[in-house]
Chains A and B, each alone.
Chain A
């Protein structure tokens, strides 16, 4: 049953991709198709990676509310962007080869993400309030630091930072995609290979260990994959805080299964479907230039609030 739903999701994503590429295609076909393919690849990669990463993160955190973005990853990204522009200067930052900045950002984000998630999950990962509070406070701290540095920037440098703070699928470079695609593909595949162990981990640390799972090693491996997936996709297009929460929540609701072998691909496909279908409707049907991320954040934020309010007190 779950496998059939997975197949339907894959078909829906394929149709959305075809519509995104071919709808209202005009001359020069080759040029427009090239632009659309790059954008589509970014949408699909980011959607799949964000959805899969969120399912992994929620399982090791033993919490269906948390996403890497909610516990401070997005604030970390903005802080790093600001710091890079501040240290290199606006001109220095923009003159750097795009591939180099993408590489630097990815590596720094991965290292910081491991540090951040490791700190948050080291003790009391099941204590939701503590996790959210710590994440929010860290986020506020990092945003505060970023704002302080932004006040020291001149207007042109500030404009560079501002450009990086918002999601942009249009500005993705093909070269960055060539690096991001294999990294994300390998990370998603490795995450999927962990499925059986993740099923056991969802029983809780003590039970999982009593069943012979090396729980701490699994958490570390999962966090490394989450760090790789969110770092690469954020460095590629920018932060989308609530996309993962939307994708993972819909995947759990739709699949009605505890098996990560279907949850991970489902969340990935749903993440990609939200972005591709949403961008298609926005760009092609409505002809709007507004960014889809605003809508994703609106509905995702709303869902987050609904989930928090729905939770029974512990």
Chain B
């Protein structure tokens, strides 16, 4: 379980997260939604320990994340961040192998190689393993980065807008894999994902955290959060919900 208590985060003397206290249950997919600038990525980065909190606490499975050693933190949470520059030309396999770094610290063991192969297969990247990243499409690259985070073998997997650049088929495939991984009977991981597409959240998430202007707007099971009334108030625009083939769909009016 992840628990934040009165979490405040400031960047460049501007407070972006204003005292958020929230609990993220273990298992399943938790979607973080909200309008632009709501603090979704900042909250994710702070919980993962990549951003310091001005005040408040974050505990993950009982570990105070601010006091955890970097390598212990990296064995607890893997995070896919939004696109950032990197140096050097890596193959897909090179990149995915970096996911094992928190475990071997530069000295790969046979089990690390096996997990990398598993990650490549899991995200349909085996055929692309020797390809250089800069020769891939945006969607293929994104899958490679998700596979790297997956290879980190952490109980918590954080994904910041993982569906960017993915076409509908690959977006659905990725979310289906994440749901299978995090479902009871999967490999016991808990997934926290920042999403802009509310219908993906409605289709795949178990829990939803809604943020607005750096405040916690709502948190709970998706059926309770993703109502027309809540979404209209969250995005300051009228929303409607409907059901198609047993699936809930939400859309701005």
Contact = CB atoms under 8 A, between A and B. Distances in A.
Interface of A: 58-59, 62-64, 126, 195-197, 199-200, 202-204, 206-207, 209-214, 256, 258
Contact of A206 (B50, B78, B89): B50
B54 to A, nearest CB: 19
A212 B73 contact: yes
Interface stretch (B14-22, B98-106, B209-217): B98-106
A212 B65 CA distance: 12
B84 A207 contact: yes
A131 to B, nearest CB: 13
Interface of B: 45, 48, 50, 70-75, 77-79, 81, 84-90, 94, 98-99, 101-102, 105-107, 152
Nearest to B49: A209
Contact of B106 (A58, A197, A214, A256): A197
Nearest to B95: A203
Given A196-B105, A197-B106, A203-B98, A210 B88 contact: no
Nearest to B88: A258
8 contacts: A59-B87, A62-B85, A210-B79, A210-B81, A211-B102, A213-B101, A256-B89, A258-B89
Nearest to A215: B70
A213 B70 contact: yes
Contact of B50 (A196, A199, A200, A209): A209
Nearest to A128: B85
A199 B71 CA distance: 16
A200 B148 CA distance: 13
Nearest to A214: B70
B88 A202 contact: yes
A210 B48 contact: yes
B206 to A, nearest CB: 24
A202 B71 contact: no
Contacts of B50: 206, 209-210
Contact of A211 (B45, B72, B84, B152): B152
B86 A202 contact: yes
Contacts of A204: 84-87
Given A212-B70, A212-B74, A258-B94, A207 B86 contact: yes
Contacts of A210: 48, 50, 74, 77-79, 81
Given A196-B105, A200-B101, A204-B84, A209 B89 contact: no
A62 B90 CA distance: 15
B94 A126 contact: no
Nearest to A210: B79
Nearest to A211: B101
Contacts of B48: 210
Contacts of A207: 81, 84, 86
Given A200-B101, A258-B94, A212 B71 contact: yes
Given A197-B106, A258-B90, A209 B70 contact: yes
Nearest to B91: A258
Given A195-B106, A213-B70, 6 more contacts: A196-B106, A196-B107, A203-B87, A210-B79, A211-B102, A212-B73
A106 B98 CA distance: 38
Contacts of A203: 86-87, 98
Contacts of B105: 196
Contacts of B87: 58-59, 62-64, 202-204, 258
B88 A126 contact: no
Contacts of B73: 212
Given A211-B74, A211-B102, A126 B89 contact: no
Nearest to B158: A210
- The winner among A126, A196, A202, A210 for most chain B CB atoms within 10 A is A210
A195 B72 CA distance: 21
Which of A58, A126, A206 has most chain B Cβ within 10 Å? Answer: A206
Nearest to B132: A256
A305 to B, nearest CB: 21
B135 to A, nearest CB: 14
A195 B102 CA distance: 15
Nearest to B78: A210
Contacts of A199: 98, 106
Nearest 10 CB-CB pairings of A with B:
A196-B106, A212-B74, A258-B88, A212-B71, A202-B87, A212-B102, A212-B70, A204-B84, A210-B79, A211-B101
Find the residue from A63, A203, A256 having the highest chain B CB count within 10 A: A203
A240 B77 CA distance: 45
Pick the most buried of B48, B74, B106: most chain A CB atoms within 10 A of its CB.
Answer: B106
Nearest to B77: A210
Contacts of B102: 211-212
Contacts of A214: 70
B79 to A, nearest CB: 5
A63 B88 CA distance: 10
